[in-house]
Amino acid sequence: MTKIFLSPPHMGGTENQYIQQAFEQNWIAPLGENVDMFETAILDYTAGEHALALSSGTAAIHLALLTMGIGTGDSVFCSTLTFAASANPITYVNATPVFIDSDEETWNMSPEALRLALEDAKTTNNLPKAVIIVHILGLAAKLDKLVAICKEYGVPIIEDAAESLGSTYHGKMTGTFGEMGIFSFNGNKIMTTSGGGMLLTNSNEDREKAFYYATQAKEQAPYYLHLEIGYNYRLSNILAGIGRGQMEVLADHVDKRRAIFDRYSDTLADLEGVSMMPILPDTAPNCWLSAIRLDYSIISKSTKEIVAYMQERDIEARMMWNPLHKQPSFSESRCYQVGEENISEKLFEEVLCLPSGSSMTEAEQARVLEALVEILTA
């Protein structure tokens, strides 16, 4: 049997056309029409204001922090239930990460836990220089509350929408609510450029500053002059060609992933002890990944056991991220939570991510569901 992957790349067919165009024009270096048009396509799709195509989503977060002037002695608050790339750039600028627990309704940053952390920081006169809000699995966080709280304390937002391109909150695209927004085009994302990312900002000045850092901090001079340390973070014109083609099928791929979520939801609706990932009212997730949550008072198999069982049947499933405050690399970092129970730790134990690629056929999904129901009801 062909292996069913969690979220494989799904090409639309026109990507080669734009790549070939770059070869014909000999724009192989990180310059050229593909980069410009890819940035424009992202802005048109998201209704954003300024975009910068980069080598990765991680680079985009790093540049957001640099552009905000964050460095040694500063702190940055970040969702704890996320991939390490959301927080690693905080350490790149020698700032201190502080983690915020999830809530039950979104699995994303808890507004109540964020307020606790900000009030604590205010009493010590050490408010963070930014809050990184992550939309995991394509699910939107409670942006109205989170944005209002950050505004109350005067703290800017970096919106990590690496997994949520195409998701909307109250009709507005995720990635456009904060001072900075980032997307990822890694190979497993809803659209890919093989590797790549995008930085969104409301300020052309910030876009130019990020561009400066992304291109080795070269000064305008008749010779090579560098007053600051820069980075090689621009996206290749070749890879941007893939992005242009992917943008043409993005809406269709979002629809396909939502249909996959609906089929999982319909089939598993009557299975006791299993619930689907939560969706807030007036939001439309891109369903980058479909995930289920297990009630261990009813289900006897752990997510780890289910992953192994599915692997034996050539089906890739995955546990939720181990919260960052539990990672050895962040062992000295604090995590704020509401009450005695840490929600992110519970979600790590109870959530299972299922194959969700937009190229997955209904027959392949039926195979996934057959194996899943078999192990859950064993």
Instruction: Return the active site residues.
Output: 189
Cβ neighbors of 24 (< 8 A, separation 6 or more) are none
Dihedral angle, C-alpha 135, 55, 7, 320, nearest 10 ° = -40
3-state secondary structure of 187: coil
**Cα–chain center distance at 117:** 23
Q: What is the CA radius of gyration of the chain?
A: 21
CB 133 within 8 A of CB 178: yes
CB 249 within 8 A of CB 190: no
CA distances from 104 to 116, 121, 306 (A): 17, 24, 23
Q: Count the Cβ atoms, other than its own, within 10 Å of residue 342.
A: 21
Spatial distance between the Cα atoms of 376 and 378, rounded to a whole number of angstroms:
6
Strand partners, 200: 51, 181
DSSP symbol at 215: B
Q: Count the Cβ atoms, other than its own, within 10 Å of residue 334.
A: 14
Spatial distance between the Cα atoms of 293 and 276, rounded to a whole number of angstroms:
6
Cβ neighbors of 340 (< 8 A, separation 6 or more) are none
CA distances from 190 to 55, 95, 187 (A): 17, 31, 9
Q: In 79-224, which ranges are continuous DSSP H helix?
A: 88-92, 111-123, 143-153, 204-214
Q: Count the Cβ atoms, other than its own, within 10 Å of residue 372.
A: 25
Q: What is the DSSP string of 3-18?
A: -B-SS-----S-HHHH
169: amino acid identity, one letter = Y
